[in-house]
A and B are shown apart, each in its own frame.
Chain A
Amino acid sequence: MAKYDCVIIGAGMSGLAAGIRLSMYNKKVVILERHTITGGLNSYYSRGKRKFDVGLHALTNFVDPTERGRPFNKLMKQLRIPYDDFKLHPQNYSVIQFPDKKIKFTNDIDFLTEEIRLNFPHEIDGFMSLLNQMQQVNEVDLSNELIMAREVVRNYLKDESLIEVLFCPLLIYGSAWENDMDFSQFVIMFKSIFIEGFSRPAGGVRTIIDLLLKRFEECGGELRFKSEVTKIIAIDQKIKAVEINGEQIIECDNILSSMGLPETLSVLEENNHSKTKPLPRVGNLSFTESIVITDKLPRDLGIDATIIFYNNRPNYLYQKPSTLIDSQSAVVCFPNNFLYGNTPSDYTEGVMRVTNIANYDLWNDQLLFSKENYKDQKINVFNQSLQILKNVGLGSNGKSFEVLFKDVFTPTTIKRYTGHFGGTVYGSIDKSRNGQTDINGLYICGTDQGFLGIVGSMLSGISMANLHILSSSL
């Protein structure tokens, strides 16, 4: 069989985006995916007639199509997918709910600025200069050094309670680190959430995946399912081939791997490991998510917010909990509450998703101990989610509701379906920002390159394909 210019490991968002770029320019490329469907962390499933999204609470980086040069438009241009095909519906508004404060934000930064002027008048000047400072930063520059964000932000803001409020959504939507994040990543997240904002494509995750897949097929790319890369073969520190499912060998010149940095190195043939460098660390953060389907829509039960970042402590703890989940904080997403205008929403029932920070090791223990135990704990999580839904105002108008369907996924579910060690969603804290490894021809894209989320992972796939495979062949 002819040798491939590039093997891409993983058909998640980053792998698909990279695949489109490479096949568009006639590279011989194959995407190898261990699962039976595409999407990775951002995937979907059905139960009966109901369709569910796994990732995707919201697409970040919402822009008006007339605005030029913003990240999302740039990505779509690189992939040659018309922006309108995503049929994006913007959010209504979101809330950061702390015990003594509720801060709202929309897709217009002026709204958040007003909220800060009202709730933290003593900090408004600092906030404005932080905004100014961020406009000067090229946050996606691949040579940016790692600086922790809290330290930088404290140069502008003194009130720790405001810092907690601002960090809360940014951490849980995009930090592999506990309680802090890289400053470049902070700026990426700040712009993509607070300045540009949230939207949802009509049809959810499937719309994004279908568009990427269709484009990949148009370009003549090849995709193989049930093809788990079990070995990366290199000779003299130069990529030669991969082995799939423990048997078949596929020869290639380059590999773009989206499976994660520790995961990638764990399948690299042993004699290629650097003797001096420590192995990249597995991240500490994983999540559970409860999906609740109700007979009434959230807005008929008193909630018209799109996403609520709930935190029941004065400080926001973004860290591995010492219990199965941390029930004192959560992200609660109401997909019904995007602004669908005249187009009918694809959900006719109430859909609510409650995401909690969770401890992978403890969940794994439960599973090893007994399946029954594990199931009981999932029911526990579900009940805690119902309590959180009440705490954020569900039923506050006196209306009651019926649960029609419920499901809970846990850190072990994430591990099983995506292969990410520790059930991480944001990967390792040791990123390879420029995508390089010690092996010639082996590059990292997606989660452990460091651009996170749906938009981030596509940007990552595109940039790594451009930088390492396309530019170097000109």
Chain B
Amino acid sequence: MLTNEEVRSKVLDIIADIALDDDVTGIKDEVALREQLDLDSMDFLDIVMELKKRHKIEVPQEDYTRLASMQSCVEYLAPKFNA
């Protein structure tokens, strides 16, 4: 069973690899990722693909909006990590 904190840290690892030149240590959980980091739609595609590659987690296209902020990511992904 992964805690929310552990899920957050796994998502953060992915984001840190994608947003290579950004500092991800100060991300605010409730604020949209797009507003804090240099991420565009190509990068969100990468988050989805990294989730699949590293954790075998599938995110269907209609759920992409659930990845908008760190908080919504954790809420949406925690059950999938623990499934």
Contacts and interface: CB of A to CB of B under 8 A. Distances in A.
Interface residues of A, number: 18
A396 interface: no
B45 A470 contact: yes
Contacts of B42: 74, 78, 462, 466
Interface in A412-463: 462
Contact of B58 (A26, A80, A462, A474): A474
Contacts of A74: 40, 42
A156 interface: no
Interface in A7-61: 25-26
B40 A466 contact: no
Interface string B54-65: 000010010000
A77 B18 contact: yes
B64 to A, nearest CB: 10
A73 interface: yes
Nearest to B52: A474
A359 B62 CA distance: 52
By secondary structure, the A interface counts as: helix
B20 A82 contact: yes
Contact of B45 (A76, A77, A80, A466): A466
Nearest to B38: A68
Interface residues of B, number: 17
A65 B49 contact: no
A68 B61 CA distance: 26
B48 interface: yes
B66 to A, nearest CB: 15
B40 to A, nearest CB: 7
A83 B22 CA distance: 12
Nearest to A471: B45
A83 B46 contact: no
A69 B42 CA distance: 12
B21 interface: yes
Contact of A78 (B46, B52, B58, B61): B46
Given A68-B38, A82-B21, A83-B21, A77 B49 contact: no
Interface in A71-89: 73-74, 76-78, 80, 82-83
Contacts of B49: 25, 470, 474
B5 to A, nearest CB: 26
Nearest to B37: A68
18 contacts: A25-B49, A65-B21, A74-B40, A74-B42, A76-B20, A77-B20, A77-B21, A77-B43, A78-B43, A78-B46, A80-B17, A80-B18, A82-B21, A83-B21, A462-B42, A470-B45, A474-B49, A474-B61
Given A77-B38, A83-B21, 7 more contacts: A25-B53, A82-B21, A466-B45, A474-B48, A474-B49, A474-B58, A474-B61
Query: Lowest 5 A-B CB distances belong to which pairs?
Result: A68-B38, A25-B49, A69-B38, A77-B20, A25-B53
